Structure 1
Amino acid sequence: MQPGSDTSAVALPVFYELAAPKGWRSIDFISDMHLSAALPHTVEAWAQHLRNTPADAVFMLGDVFEVWVGDDARQLPFERHCVDVMAEAASRRTLAVMVGNRDFLLGAQMLRACGAMALPDPTLLTAWGRPVLLTHGDALCLEDTAYQSFRREVRSDHWQQDFLARPLAERLAIAADIRRQSQQRHSFDGRVDADIDAGTAVAWLHALGASEMVHGHTHRPGSQDLAPGFKRHVLSDWDLDDAERPRAQVLRLSRDGFVRLQPTGATGPA
């Protein structure tokens, strides 16, 4: 789809707009850390980066946690540790959180506890005169119709109210069952081969007068043209506990543009 094309056939979401303060020098974007107690090296690298990055802000674009069953889970030992890490980081720099397909139940109580700012999906960020569209990315994987149907169901008020009304222990058991059953996991995450719909992504960008977007979800880090004049920057997933393929990456934006970096203080499995 070219600039100036008719986008009337594309259903546009409500876009949240955010302007970076003039004094900021850089912003870090990360996503898909899938934090859990089973990934100690990944958790430590994430914590070290939040504590030590020189960036003025860290924007986490979804799937911060492997699973999030409700904000009352923040009192559990592992989740409490993550709250403490985020609260410490938020006392030094701006911390913003966008929910993903794994942690879409992360809400206002958790954000208040860790001092983080909610980042609606999608958000148009303007920094140093540069408009950049931010999204987790799963809402744009339109070819995966089974996942989109599932996504609409679990994002509905009715489903969430019913699920959150269950005792915490029951919700944790349901989450553990989902992790054990690969077929359900694929339903929860979407197809592993799914990618965003380029035409719809360009329509979003065109409607906003932007030419670049940043997203996660697909675990395919890199920067590619979506169409002439329109580009996407895909974030890396993190797994520094994988001895065969350890991975973690930060995408940093400054006045000079985008650059990909290793997390500050990242270490892998022994």
Structure 2
Amino acid sequence: MPARIDLPPSTRTVDFISDLHLCPELPRTLALLRHYLERTSADAVFILGDLFEAWVGDDAATLPFEADCVSLLAAAARQRPVYVMRGNRDFLLGPAFFQATGAIDLPDPVALHAPGLSAQPVLLSHGDALCLSDTAYQQFRAQVRQPAWQQAFLAKPLDERQAIGAQMRAASREHQRQQADTPHGQASAPVTYADADPALAQQWLAESDAQVLIHGHTHRPQTEHHASGWTRHVLCDWEVDHHQPPRAEVLRWSDRGFQRLDPAAA
């Protein structure tokens, strides 16, 4: 049974974002996030995983870029509740991160109850656990989510963990390049990942008594209505530094339903 989060009945506007992959190489993406968080009219903001390109332990917050991100989130969390879910890139976000930012640690998956917007909950996930066809990743995920593996990794010096993280990102980028199916001479296509398994998604929805699923991870932004009656909203990844056209989107839930908005105007 998925965990449960309850919002106050007064909540009227909820924003969902994911897959920002923040890192020093994406300064414009960070600037857009700053602009959005400082100006959004949302009553609550949910970040559904991969806020960071890599998070090698909470002591990374001593580094200049990560410290700036922590300060930004702390300022945002003083204005409205900010919920952060771990993704496949930042699964090592720990208690010190949440204490420093004031963000709320969000389980995966979780049933979000917002009685001011709907009588039924909405199911939230990063989405990577749903991608069963990516068997190599599922084996990796099972390994790195084990407490013993995490304890051993976090016991290494910070600079060594940074080097390991850089190697893992380089290997991931190579894998992404192999996945991309872009004809020579055309603009690069957005990287995509294995898609969510419909049967498992429907099982999770049934267990949470929900008919709406919101997730990220796959980099395939879409709204999909299934014949069995449930709806899936896949969040857009953010990349406004190098990708053409720039990619960034907020999914807003309000009394008007679900809308996809430009973060600069949300």
Which position in structure 1 is the counterpart of 2:67? 80
Which position in structure 2 is the counterpart of 1:5? none
Q: Identify unmatched segments of 5+ residues in structure 1.
A: 1-13
Answer yes or no: is the 8 Å Cα contact 1:178–1:184 preserved in 2. no
Q: Shift in Å at residue 255 of structure 1?
A: 2.6
Answer yes or no: is the 8 Å Cα contact 2:88–2:128 preserved in 1. yes
Which position in structure 2 is the counterpart of 1:143? 133
TM-superposition CA deviations, 1:232-258 (whole Å, max 9, x none):
000000000025221100000113311
Q: Which amino acid aligns with 1:170?
A: E
Match of 2:158 among 144, 168, 174: 168
| Structure 1 position 25 matched with structure 2 position 12 | yes
Q: Shift in Å at residue 185 of structure 1?
A: 5.6
Assess, with a 3 A threshold, how the Cα gap between structure 1 residues 70 and 28 changes in structure 2: closer, same or farther: same
Match of 2:109 among 113, 122, 146: 122
Q: Supply the distance in 2 between the matched residues of 1:265 and 1:77 (Cα, whole angstroms).
A: 28
Listed as ranges, the matches of 1:210-249 within 5 Å are: 210-249=210-249
In structure 1, the residue corresponding to 2:246 is in which secondary structure? Answer: coil
In structure 2, the residue corresponding to 1:58 is in which secondary structure? Answer: strand
| Structure 1 position 107 matched with structure 2 position 97 | no
| Structure 1 position 154 matched with structure 2 position 154 | no
Assess, with a 3 A threshold, how the Cα gap between structure 1 residues 98 and 243 changes in structure 2: closer, same or farther: closer
> Sequence identity of aligned pairs in percent?
52
Q: Which amino acid aligns with 1:161?
A: Q
Q: Which amino acid aligns with 2:7?
A: A
Answer yes or no: is the 8 Å Cα contact 2:84–2:105 preserved in 1. yes
Q: Which amino acid aligns with 2:100?
A: A
Q: Supply the distance in 1 between the matched residues of 2:142 and 2:211 (Cα, whole angstroms).
A: 28
Answer yes or no: is the 8 Å Cα contact 1:202–1:226 preserved in 2. no
4+ aligned runs moved over 3 Å, structure 1: 182-186
In structure 2, the residue corresponding to 1:133 is in which secondary structure? Answer: strand
Q: Supply the distance in 1 between the matched residues of 2:206 and 2:113 (Cα, whole angstroms).
A: 15
Aligned residues: 250
Q: Which amino acid aligns with 1:54?
A: S
Q: Shift in Å at residue 126 of structure 1?
A: 1.1
Assess, with a 3 A threshold, how the Cα gap between structure 1 residues 193 and 168 changes in structure 2: closer, same or farther: closer
Answer yes or no: is the 8 Å Cα contact 1:45–1:265 preserved in 2. no
Assess, with a 3 A threshold, how the Cα gap between structure 1 residues 184 and 152 changes in structure 2: closer, same or farther: farther
In structure 1, the residue corresponding to 2:200 is in which secondary structure? Answer: helix
In structure 2, the residue corresponding to 1:65 is in which secondary structure? Answer: coil
Q: CA RMSD in A?
A: 1.8
In structure 2, the residue corresponding to 1:29 is in which secondary structure? Answer: strand
Listed as ranges, the matches of 1:184-223 within 5 Å are: 192-223=192-223
Q: Supply the distance in 1 between the matched residues of 2:193 and 2:56 (Cα, whole angstroms).
A: 26
Q: Shift in Å at residue 265 of structure 1?
A: 5.6
TM-superposition CA deviations, 1:140-160 (whole Å, max 9, x none):
001111111110000001110
Assess, with a 3 A threshold, how the Cα gap between structure 1 residues 194 and 37 changes in structure 2: closer, same or farther: same
TM-superposition CA deviations, 1:129-172 (whole Å, max 9, x none):
23100000000001111111110000001110000000001000
Q: Which amino acid aligns with 1:200?
A: L
TM-score after normalising by structure 2: 0.90
Q: Which amino acid aligns with 1:169?
A: D
| Structure 1 position 59 matched with structure 2 position 49 | no
In structure 1, the residue corresponding to 2:248 is in which secondary structure? Answer: coil
